[in-house]
Amino acid sequence: MFKKILIANRGEIACRVIKTARKMGIQTVAVYSEADRGALHVKLADEAVCIGPAASKASYLVADKIIAACKDTGAEAVHPGYGFLSENEEFSRRIEEEGIKFIGPKHYSIARMGDKIESKKLADEAGVNTIPGHNEAISGPDEAVEIAKKIGYPVMIKASAGGGGKGLRVAYNDAEAHEGFASCVNEARNSFGDDRVFIEKFVQEPRHIEIQVLGDSFGNYVYLNERECSIQRRHQKVVEEAPSPFIDPATRKAMGEQAVALARAVQYESAGTVEFVVGADKSFYFLEMNTRLQVEHPVTEYITGLDLVEQMILVAAGEKLAITQDDIKINGWALECRINAEDPFRGFLPSTGRLVKFRAPLESNAVRVDTGVFEGGEISMFYDSMIAKLIVHGASREQAIERMRDALNGFVIRGISSNIPFQAALMQHPRFQSGNFNTGFIAEEYPDGFDASMVPHDDPALLAAVAVFARHRYIERAVRIGGQLEGRGRKVSSDWVVVMNGQQYPLTVSHTRYGMSVTHNDKTYDISSDWSFGDQLFTGTVNGQPICLQIERHGLYYRISHFGLQVAPAVMTPRAAYLLSLMPEKQPPDLSKFLISPMPGLLREVTVAEGQEVKAGEKLVIIEAMKMENILKAEHDGKVKKIVAQPGASLSVDEVIIEFE
């Protein structure tokens, strides 16, 4: 067994590999860019080596620097994690040539599966079902449009070396095919250094289901059941689960056997994933093979009891698989939510900055948090937006969903925005709970984006009652302040009004032996909690039932988050509430004459000029943030008065880019 391994990655996955290596008694070496000098994976590793500037192409993507770090530290093997060089055939080959073990498949397996065009041909030869399409690299946008017409819309435009939703677009007409080709080429070139693009038929109402496989150097192969990855936004996975609520045992067996046949055809050694698109009739077609560890691997670990990182290390060290197909069972149900640094209430735009608060749910046998950040750390614009992975396990799917809802309630993140409210809304959506969904679920259910009104809550008065509970705690502390004039001390009223989302909730408060009783109309909430001032997490019981929500005081307002709903109730006396109702509403300023950056990022391109007439829907600028291209278009017809920000500028949120006449 190896004595020391180097992790050629950063963030959550680097920390994840370190955790298993430590369990196996293996020392670890971290590599880091200058932007990651204080990162968590650097702190956790036994040794750490700086490999260059913040930009990935000057650090994490430079094989020479990683090989040099291996030699300098005496690392015998390299675990590539996912992303960066994890599926780079040349990197794997060079590592092996240097006498260092690559904890992953051999370079020839990566080469055959890493090229999506060639992998599809090979899958055909191995007897694996494949999707109709044009499997040759496309030379330009006009050719892309012609091919798309022949295949028939909708089509999927994909980068041959793509992955993680980058270099992928779905086109429903000629214009989308033309524009989608250009975006795919740019993203593929910037992310993978390979701008080849191909096109295939987009299966309607598809499910994205993948099979985890394991192989060793002795020709032994197993499949570890499936993962359901259909909850996606812009082709990036949001929620994953294992097993799938859609797949039956016969389909599982057929898909598993085809996945193993493909792994055997490329002499695959390590953990890998074969991805399929599955139709409503359970027909399935090969999408691609990911020759690395997947982000969502923990759900498979929960239902099988296997540590996939450990299995990868054992295989790389030359050991045989200790399990057979008959040993693989399905134990309960597991769910994973990707917690990303993005604002769901602003179109999921990237959010960067310092993590002022980072308080993950308590881990247990049923709750797991994989992360690479810590409170006080920085979320950088240079890398992926994922902050953490929240994984839960239950005896049934229903129990797993309930545990995920509770865990999301207790996940405190401040300083940046996160997609936790959206994840919480998904957990409560009837269609998700029924298991009747496909990859179009988010686009279909949230066609105009996501806002607070889309978060269901069956008892908003409960949130008003908690706000009054907190307000009373503050007032009771104020009453106890010494030095008050006799007879002039503050008196605490029992009648209050909570103003929330334009509605007034009249409430009456009384103290009980264990806490406080709050009554609204004919319903009473008996609240018991040891919540203390300044604590963002409010835990306790309401009418004997446990409750966990987040609360923060802002003057008379108490920002409350519960099951994804975010409200800011104001707690006031009945007289103050009446006077407030007489106040005119302040109108927001008119910003229609400006194009404002909705996110922090790099201004890559301005496609219009001063004095130019523009039409609604016309492309104006391209902003790059967290390795993704974002195109901003004109919302209405107009004329450009002034270009305020120039290409190459680093934009902040709400910074003016273009002014219109």
The per-residue pLDDT for range 155-174, each reduced to its tens digit, is 989 888 876 677 889 999 99
Domains 106-130+206-331 and 337-443 share a fold: yes
For the chain, count helices (H), then strands (E). Answer: 17, 40
Question: Over the stretch 497-512, which tens digit does the pLDDT of each residue have?
Answer: 999 988 999 999 998 8
Q: Reduced to 3 DSSP states, what percent helix, strand and coil does the chain have, rounded to the nearest 5?
A: 30, 30, 40
Amino acid at 248: D
Residue 407 has pLDDT above 90, yes or no: yes
Fold annotation for 106-130+206-331: D-amino Acid Aminotransferase; Chain A, domain 1 (3.30.470)
Residue 485 has pLDDT above 70, yes or no: no
Q: Which residues are paired to 169 by β-bridges? A: 157
Is 336 assigned a catalytic role?
no
Question: Over the stretch 326-357, which tens digit does the pLDDT of each residue have?
Answer: 999 999 999 999 999 999 988 888 888 899 99
Residue 484 has pLDDT above 70, yes or no: no
How many CA atoms within 13 Å lie on the side-chain side of 255? Answer: 31
Residue identified by tokens 């939510």 is: 337
Residue 12 has pLDDT above 70, yes or no: yes
Of residues 76, 187, 228, 288, which has the active-site annotation?
A: 288
pLDDT of residue 488: 62
Q: Which two tokens stand for residue 252?
A: 């599982």
Domain range summary for the chain, segments of one domain joined by +: 4-103, 106-130+206-331, 132-201, 337-443, 460-481+490-581, 594-660
CATH architecture of residue range(s) 337-443:
2-Layer Sandwich (3.30)
Q: What is the CATH number of domain 460-481+490-581?
A: 3.30.700.30
Yes or no: say if 113 and 266 are a contact pair by the CB < 8 Å rule: yes
Average pLDDT over residues 200-225: 94
Fold annotation for 132-201: Dna Ligase; domain 1 (3.30.1490)
Instruction: Count the neighbouring beta carbons within 10 Å of the beta carbon of residue 590.
Output: 7
Average pLDDT over residues 596-618: 91
Q: Which two tokens stand for residue 233?
A: 């936004």
How confident is the prediction for the chain on average, in pLDDT? 92
Average pLDDT over residues 214-239: 96
pLDDT band at 627 (very low <50, low <70, confident <90, very high): low
pLDDT band at 135 (very low <50, low <70, confident <90, very high): confident
Produce one character per residue of 81-96: b if its CB has 16 or more CB atoms within 10 Å, e if not.
bbbbbbbbbebbbbbe
pLDDT of residue 601: 85
Rounded to the nearest 5°, which phi and psi values hold at 397?
-65, -40
pLDDT band at 149 (very low <50, low <70, confident <90, very high): very high
CATH 2.40.50.100 for domain 594-660, yes or no, is: yes
Question: Over the stretch 631-646, which tens digit does the pLDDT of each residue have?
Answer: 899 988 999 999 999 9
How many degrees, rounded to 5, is the angle at CA 219 between CA 216 and CA 225?
Answer: 65
Residue 487 has pLDDT above 70, yes or no: no
Yes or no: say if 14 and 42 are a contact pair by the CB < 8 Å rule: no
Instruction: Count the neighbouring beta carbons within 10 Å of the beta carbon of residue 413.
Output: 25
The CATH classification of domain 4-103, taken from the options 3.40.50.20, 3.40.50.720, 1.10.1740.10, 3.10.20.600: 3.40.50.20
Burial class (CB in 10 A: 0-12, 13-18, 19+), 555: exposed
Q: Which of 46, 27, 206 is nearest to 131 (CA)?
A: 206
- Predicted structure pTM score: 0.82
How many CA atoms within 13 Å lie on the side-chain side of 277? Answer: 17
- The more confidently predicted of residues 661 and 92 is 92
pLDDT band at 476 (very low <50, low <70, confident <90, very high): confident
